[in-house]
A = this chain, B = another copy of it.
Amino acid sequence: MKLGMIGLGRMGANMAQRLMKGGHQIVGFDPQAAARKDLEGKGAQTADSLTALVAALPSPRTLWLMVPAGEATDANLDALLPLLAAGDTIIDGGNSFYKDSMRRAKRFAERDIAYVDCGTSGGIWGLDEGYSLMIGGDEAAVERMRPIFESLAPAKDRGWARVGPAGAGHFAKMVHNGIEYGMMQAYAEGFSILRHKAEFDMDLQQVAEIWRYGSVVRSWLLDLTADALKKNPDMSGIAPYVADSGEGRWTVDEAIELNVPAPIITQSLIERLRSRDKDSFTDKLLSAMRNEFGGHPIKKA
């Protein structure tokens, strides 16, 4: 197929390349000229505006949106709406909030434009290994896009599927990321316990290697953790500071809204907030309270 790729950052550029390897033709757009030039160097056609992009695509058009969730996505969609026609298809492959995707799908459906939400997992490895794709939206539209999904996924019949109506794809991806938070935190705590058992002076990378083969905790995340430990066994030069990119928060909110207890996913998010709260008012007040009732000494800042 010939399709437009909007957003040529790390993810979008990689996906464009994987699609080209799969035999598709790509017209790429990104406001950054350098990003466009990079992709041209890899064999893609590019366009320097959304208008030019849309003009470069055969009708009915297919557009893959790979831009940051939220305002950037809405801005692109606002700009696209008047440029597109009935029968066209937009796929949002970014990390959008599923309720936004539901709203957007409805808005485009009014113009007979299909809007497909595709949760995409795979990170920087997807280019070579393929992406895991959780897809929401109209069944016929998803079926029309089959060749794209088959190329992006690790295999034609693996690692992708339509999981439900509009929003369902991004909902599944949101939960996926919540699980990821929990798994990461479980590994990190475990390695931290091993490291603090000074009397055993363990080689964490060696332990990770053992676990990679035959153990119940083997996983791709463990493979990557083993790599990270190999490169930097003491994590030196790395600040104890963990960012989060939104999906964890949504998962927590959603779990509460659905009355589903999700203590591990929730606490994993809180741990990330905690890693960034170096000057915790909570802890200072606790220290002051201990002093008030028990005369316990306060550690000075």
Contacts and interface: CB of A to CB of B under 8 A. Distances in A.
A158 interface: yes
- State which size class the interface on A falls in: 35 or more
B264 A192 contact: no
A260 B283 contact: no
B168 A200 contact: yes
A252 to B, nearest CB: 6
User: Which of A183, A232, A252 has the most chain B CB atoms inside 10 A of its CB?
Assistant: A183
Contacts of A132: 210-211, 213-216, 218
A217 interface: yes
User: Which of A10, A210, A225 has the most chain B CB atoms inside 10 A of its CB?
Assistant: A210
A79 interface: no
Secondary structure at the A interface, as helix, strand, loop or mixed, is helix
Given A189-B260, A224-B293, A164 B202 contact: yes
User: Which of A154, A163, A214, A221 has the most chain B CB atoms inside 10 A of its CB?
Assistant: A214
User: Which of A164, A165, A278, A286 has the most chain B CB atoms inside 10 A of its CB?
Assistant: A286
Interface string A181-221: 11111111111111111001111001101111111111111
A189 B270 contact: no
Interface string A265-301: 1111111111111111111111111111111101111
A10 B159 CA distance: 34
A196 B200 CA distance: 36
A214 B131 contact: yes
Contacts of A293: 123-125, 216, 220-221, 224
A187 B197 contact: no
Interface in A80-124: 121-124
Give the oligomeric copy count.
4
A163 B199 CA distance: 12
Given A132-B211, A213-B130, A216-B176, A266 B265 contact: no
B240 A269 contact: no
A151 interface: no
Contacts of A194: 171-172, 175
Interface stretch (A27-35, A49-57, A241-249): A241-249
B240 A287 contact: yes
17 contacts: A133-B214, A175-B193, A184-B290, A188-B281, A188-B283, A216-B221, A216-B293, A219-B219, A228-B288, A239-B298, A242-B290, A256-B273, A260-B277, A260-B282, A263-B270, A275-B283, A275-B286
